[in-house]
Copies of this chain bind each other. A is one copy, B any other.
Amino acid sequence: MSNSAVVIIISAPSGTGKTSICRSIFRQFPDIRFSVSYTTRPPRSGEVDGRDYYFVTEDVFREKAQNGEFAEWAENYGHHYGTSRRVVEEIRSRGEDLILDVEPRGARALKELYPDGVFVFVLPPDLEELKKRLQKRGAEDDEIRERRFQKAKDEIREVVWYDYIIVNDRLESAVEKLRAVYLAEKCRRERQRPVIDGFMKEA
């Protein structure tokens, strides 16, 4: 992996707006790569296989998991989601910057695999707002909604080991913060080694 490449792992409970934030960042920085995840969940309207996800069957997913092909995988509402180890390694070996969008429970496995990764957690403005956003999402009954809310609260407890916390109170402001994290991390001394080496050679 190139000294100067950044791997950002972004994670949030459902309903926090993480996907919208990432989309805006990819528009601003077309050179940042995105690791497309595998999932067993059916495509939603507008989703494209190979762009949004690799849509696979339970059997295919299980086989990949057993073969150790996933850097992380997690179950979410009965569906499986996994990050391909090979895809991540290929991007890293080319020295390209990369954003991984993963479930909070999957992120912890990546922390062990990529200790130099930059871990960003997106929070809703408060729990009331999260509740409202989860309600808007679907017409499920109260019990399912309550279970989703409890799950989101559990996921928020993971925040304690992340590097950066972005509160998504307003999309533009959250996007600017993720942009700042990316630009700042590019400036970290550890990633500026080629520049420093250049000066040391000259000086």
Give the B-binding residues of A (Cβ under 8 A): 121, 123, 126-127, 153, 156-157, 159-167, 176-177, 179-185, 187-189, 192, 195-196, 198-200, 202-203
Are A153 and B203 neighbours in the complex by a CB distance under 8 Å?
Answer: yes
Main secondary structure of the interface of A (DSSP, over half): helix
Are A180 and B189 neighbours in the complex by a CB distance under 8 Å?
Answer: no
- Are A187 and B164 also in contact (CB < 8 A) when A126-B202, A199-B127 are? yes
Contacts of A188 in B (CB 8 A): 163-165
Report the nearest B residue to A173, measured CB to CB. B183
Are A160 and B196 neighbours in the complex by a CB distance under 8 Å?
Answer: yes
Contacts of A179 in B (CB 8 A): 180
Are A127 and B203 neighbours in the complex by a CB distance under 8 Å?
Answer: yes
- Are A187 and B180 also in contact (CB < 8 A) when A202-B127, A203-B156 are? yes
Contacts of A183 in B (CB 8 A): 176-177, 180-181, 184
